[in-house]
Amino acid sequence: MYIFGGKQSIFENSNKLYRFNFDEPLWEQLEYDEKDGYAPSCVDSHNAILFHTPEGDEIIIFGGFMGGKIGKYSRSIYGYCIQSNKWRMIYDGFSEKKVDLGTKKNIPKKRGSAGMTLFDGNLYIFGGANSKVKFDDLWKFNLSNKQWTLIETIGNKPLVT
């Protein structure tokens, strides 16, 4: 079992990564090189899911809240390769200056506490919230071409309260 990030105190979040070995039973903090610039920010209320790739197993992190003095939400996506012990940036959700206004509406708003699943090489993100809005939207992120798609749904959506 792997655990990433979380709230350390009211003013501080973490970007530490832990592994639990059920056979031992033993917790271990995994050390990784943050100098490469790809380690995720310190967040809580993010999502994590395991993705099996030909290169190995990867933990994918989406969104979350960067608390404390930062006080912002994220829509970035990071991958951690278990075999190589390295992080990579899959989608940089902080580069708003690079996004034109026409494209910006085709990406989800920054958020924490969303639901996330992986199906057929795509991440699906449902709902979540930021400090102003509780979302009831459904987004698809294609891990191959790095494109977001808003899924227009029909029927009764789950209630967001």
More confident residue, 123 or 12: 123
Residue in the block written with tokens 């795509």: 122
Q: In the predicted model, is pLDDT for residue 36 greater than 80? A: no
Residue with tokens 């190995």: 56
Residue 56: pLDDT band (50, 70, 90) is confident
Please tell me which residue, 54 or 91, carries the higher pLDDT value.
91
pLDDT of residue 54: 81
pLDDT grade, residue 38 (50/70/90)?
confident
Q: Quickly state the pLDDT bin for 156 (edges 50, 70, 90).
A: confident
| pLDDT of the residue at 96 | 53
Structure confidence at residue 100 as a pLDDT band (50, 70, 90): very low
Task: State how far the alpha carbon of 109 is from the alpha carbons of 4, 100, 137, 145, in Å.
Answer: 22, 15, 10, 20
Which superfamily is assigned to 2-150 in CATH? Kelch-type beta propeller (2.120.10.80)
Find tokens 């390769």 and name the residue.
Answer: 81
Q: For residue 27, is pLDDT > 80?
A: yes
pLDDT for 99 beyond 70: no
Q: What's the pTM value of the predicted model, to 2 decimals?
A: 0.88
pLDDT score of 101 more than 50: no
Give the pLDDT mean for 2-26: 92
Q: How far apart, in whole angstroms, are the C-alpha atoms of residue 155 and residue 1?
A: 36
